[in-house]
Structure 1
Amino acid sequence: MHLEETPLRIGVFGLLGSGNLGNDGSLEALLVHLRAEYPHAVVDALCGGPRTVTARYGIPATRLHWYGGEYRTASRAGAIAGKGLGKLVDIARTAAWVRRHDAVIVPGMGVLEATLPLRPWGFPYALFLLCASGRLLRTPVALAGVGAAPIRSRPTRALLRWSARLATHRSFRDGPSRTAIRDLGVDTARDAVHPDLAFGLPAPAAARTPGTVCVGVMDFHGSNDDRHRAAAIHRRYLDGTTRLVRALAADGRPVRLLTGDTADRRVADAIRTTVASPLVTTAPVTSLTDLMRETAAADAVVATRYHNLICALRTSTPTLALGYAAKNDDLMRDWGLGAYTHPARTIDPDRLLVQLRELERNAPALRAQLAARNAKIGRELHGALTALTASLLPPPHRNDQQRPTLTCAGADREAP
């Protein structure tokens, strides 16, 4: 790179580093692409967990919200005032951050959905500020491979509709997501659909442990529309999942409990305490690569979280989905596993066991089917990410370097 050239500045945005492994996996997949195609770009983040993002990925990061207690319930006058003031301060903070960049990318995640409890003045408001700032300051903002779903809450629907309209580039992780945004009145005719960005992560090799079943658990309380019955939904989900694990342990099957978010650990702890079997253990996972290593070693996977399913499919492991949203069922159908879905809200442990046994009987054919689908994923995602960066940035400069570097906080670091 010539010394007189100014390096590109690329921002990444979202609830990254906040404990959700799926969100962080999408960021990791994007960074792999940027390090290969734009090795001298300066990349930084505006995100939920800046310390984690900086420590894990080596890029500078700024806290998403000015008010530190944004995601805590505000009951006292001081907290309510702090949240209100924070909304005003974040207008200027977001605009100033956007102004410093040549482009901003929101990497994957379900940023245009409310399938889990969500307040409009939290992340939807932050996303709207980002997209509005990009349009006003002429900085392109891309929603790359994001998830979307129908939304009932009017304030949330309005904020996400305008976010989608104001974004420079949109692509979706599945067809129903694009349809949901089209139904909000957004013109999606030119918007691409491609596999979830997390499918771009390499699947690690792992020796299979015969008999092992991975059960991915979730701190599940229903969707944004289920707040009035959230406790009952959670009790039924926890009871059904616990009964499944108990039955597997009674059959002498090792069970590995998988999590996908910090909040899921208390569910895993509750199941392990109730079942009280040495065959039931919780896998220590801190990344999607860790999750994939666990699923690759299992005979079968039963999972709730969307990115737990992705990890299982990525390793070609026969998978049964405890679906909490349409996206889970759509993903399973896309991979030819539509018969192996079960509703997370109304778990029937007996029927779930029947489905699992059928899944395992068909395991050899299913593994071959999933491996064939995985062979296509890399090409599809490479094309999608190349199209994304081509729409936002000038063509990358090619040179004779053997190993690309990514500029971070004024210094270059070697990419893996």
Structure 2
Amino acid sequence: MNVKRVVIAAEVFSANLGDYAIYDSLKTILEQQGIEVVPLDLSLRKGWAEEGEVLVGPQGWAKVFKNGLKKISLYRSLSSRLKWYLVSKNKANEYWEQLIEKSDGVIVGGGQLLTDTNQYFPLRIGAVAEIAKRLNKPISVIGCGVGGTLTKNSFRGFKELLSNATYISLRDYTSRDKLKEYVGGDFPLHVSPDIAFGLPASRTVKLAGDKVCGLNVIPLSIFHRFVPEVRDVSESDYLLFWKRLAEGAIKSGLKLVIMTNGNPDDQAQANNVYNKLVESGIDVQLQNRPKRPSDLYRQIEQVDYLVAMRMHAGIVGCALGRKTATIAWDEKIPGVWRAVNNEDIVMRYDILKDSNPWNRILPVFESPGWPNDNKEIYQNKIHHDVSSCLKTMFE
């Protein structure tokens, strides 16, 4: 039998390992259906930073400009476009064409890829779609999110993809509604849970003993960027939030461990949180920065409960069967959890100002059925979504 080969275009080898969890789940599902999978990293990485060759990495450019300039939106957009056209485009196109030419089709997804932050993804996804069209390869979209408001410029970047996609599924209803105005009412837009929810359940059975709660940390700057209502929260306020949360967890008889998704900035913030808690006399452990998906999975498997700030830390925790609560800093987070009928586990951003944040987390952890109530239903939806996509591509 002729085995189909599919290129997955996504943020595969990101330091934020939640991105790989999406790819990992989709790859597993496709392989179960007899598909050979090839990764295409939209940020031009051929592998992990310590192992693989980086085609055109951002490090050199990042060192040229100071942080002050990078805070200016116009500068970021112009810098992104210049970097693409002057440095990255030719090398990326050459390598991507090699991958796509040897494949039977391309799937874009998942993750928050249909967004126009600094024109980053429109340029890259547009290039992938153009190559697929030129080589007469079917292309589709699975499990993507639509970020913010798409501008006319960004839509032009995505137009090749949206005009030629055999199938489009989004990971939440808000993304579907945003995209409707661009693709028109005739083309069906499907909604299916975030692909990372399809990760296989943990095979690790946590040993009896102390119950452990993981605290998944992100920098305060992310809240400041996305949530104007908490821009008055200072770094000391943020550390106080973590101290209050930790004290509540300890009163509930839990051991504590601080962890991240692997982003170096997240780990720097985690170090600050850890130091604050230790200075306050709180017994807590700090996990090393996970550098591979297996590191992230193993760290999450070692806890019973997880307070997640990175959305895909929460999704991975759910997939692995851990009691999970997540804190929203972007509209995408409640939307994604709404798609699996578990919006109740999402805490609003104003929890950062709560004098007793643990009281808002605890009811989620005490829910008897969570996280397994709807698991089989939404995992079946993901598998059905992938199967439907493949039919439009190859039948």
Query: Which of 13, 20, 23 matches 2:16?
Result: 20
Supply the AA of the counterpart residue of 2:172: D
Alignment of 1:238-253 (within 5 A): 238-239=238-239, 241-248=241-248, 251=251, 253=254
* Residue 43, structure 1, aligned to residue 42, structure 2: no
How far, CA to CA, are the matches of 1:240 and 1:187 in structure 2?
49
C-alpha distance 256-119 of structure 1, shift in aligned 2 (>3 A) = same
The two structures have a TM-score, normalised by structure 2, of 0.78
Q: Any stretches of 5+ residues in structure 1 without a counterpart?
A: 56-60, 395-416
RMSD of aligned Cα (Å): 3.7
Conserved? CA contact 1:236–1:346, under 8 Å: no
Tell me by how many angstroms 1:90 deviates: 4.9
The two structures have a TM-score, normalised by structure 1, of 0.75
Query: Which of 148, 151, 165 matches 1:150?
Result: 148
Name the counterpart of 2:194.
196
Query: Which of 258, 281, 284 matches 2:285?
Result: 281
* Residue 126, structure 1, aligned to residue 130, structure 2: no
Tell me by how many angstroms 1:218 deviates: 1.5
Name the counterpart of 1:31.
27
Name the counterpart of 1:329.
334
Q: Secondary structure at the match of 1:32?
A: helix
Name the counterpart of 2:388.
387
How far, CA to CA, are the matches of 1:275 and 1:72 in structure 2?
32
Q: Secondary structure at the match of 1:255?
A: strand
C-alpha distance 8-304 of structure 1, shift in aligned 2 (>3 A) = same
1:201-230 deviation per Cα after TM superposition (whole angstroms, max 9, x unaligned): 112133265442221112352379759999
Supply the AA of the counterpart residue of 1:103: G
- Structure 1 stretch displaced more, 343-352 or 222-231: 222-231
* Residue 52, structure 1, aligned to residue 48, structure 2: yes
Query: Which of 102, 105, 108 matches 1:106?
Result: 108
Conserved? CA contact 1:240–1:348, under 8 Å: no
Conserved? CA contact 1:10–1:102, under 8 Å: yes
1:256-290 deviation per Cα after TM superposition (whole angstroms, max 9, x unaligned): 22311323111111110111156222334455565
Tell me by how many angstroms 1:291 deviates: 4.5
Q: Secondary structure at the match of 2:306?
A: strand
Tell me by how many angstroms 1:317 deviates: 3.7
Supply the AA of the counterpart residue of 1:313: C
How far, CA to CA, are the matches of 1:73 and 1:11 in structure 2?
32
C-alpha distance 268-169 of structure 1, shift in aligned 2 (>3 A) = same
* Residue 181, structure 1, aligned to residue 179, structure 2: yes
Supply the AA of the counterpart residue of 1:279: D
1:346-376 deviation per Cα after TM superposition (whole angstroms, max 9, x unaligned): 712425222123334xx1xx24243121122
What is the number of equivalent residue pairs in this alignment? 373
Conserved? CA contact 1:221–1:230, under 8 Å: no
How far, CA to CA, are the matches of 1:297 and 1:326 in structure 2?
29
Name the counterpart of 2:76.
none
Tell me by how many angstroms 1:163 deviates: 3.9
Q: Secondary structure at the match of 2:376?
A: helix
Tell me by how many angstroms 1:345 deviates: 6.8
How far, CA to CA, are the matches of 2:61 and 2:230 in structure 1?
18
Conserved? CA contact 1:236–1:345, under 8 Å: no
Alignment of 1:231-270 (within 5 A): 235=235, 238-239=238-239, 241-248=241-248, 251=251, 253-263=254-264, 264-270=266-272
Tell me by how many angstroms 1:100 deviates: 3.6
C-alpha distance 334-47 of structure 1, shift in aligned 2 (>3 A) = closer
How much identity, in percent, do the aligned residues show?
Answer: 16
1:362-408 deviation per Cα after TM superposition (whole angstroms, max 9, x unaligned): x1xx24243121122332222222222222236xxxxxxxxxxxxxx
Conserved? CA contact 2:326–2:347, under 8 Å: yes
C-alpha distance 98-242 of structure 1, shift in aligned 2 (>3 A) = same
Name the counterpart of 1:304.
309
C-alpha distance 392-246 of structure 1, shift in aligned 2 (>3 A) = same
Conserved? CA contact 1:165–1:186, under 8 Å: no
Name the counterpart of 2:217.
217
C-alpha distance 345-18 of structure 1, shift in aligned 2 (>3 A) = farther
Supply the AA of the counterpart residue of 2:262: D
1:130-169 deviation per Cα after TM superposition (whole angstroms, max 9, x unaligned): 1232233322222211112332665445434654344333
Name the counterpart of 1:271.
273
Conserved? CA contact 1:292–1:314, under 8 Å: no
Whose helix proportion is higher, 1 or 2?
Answer: 2
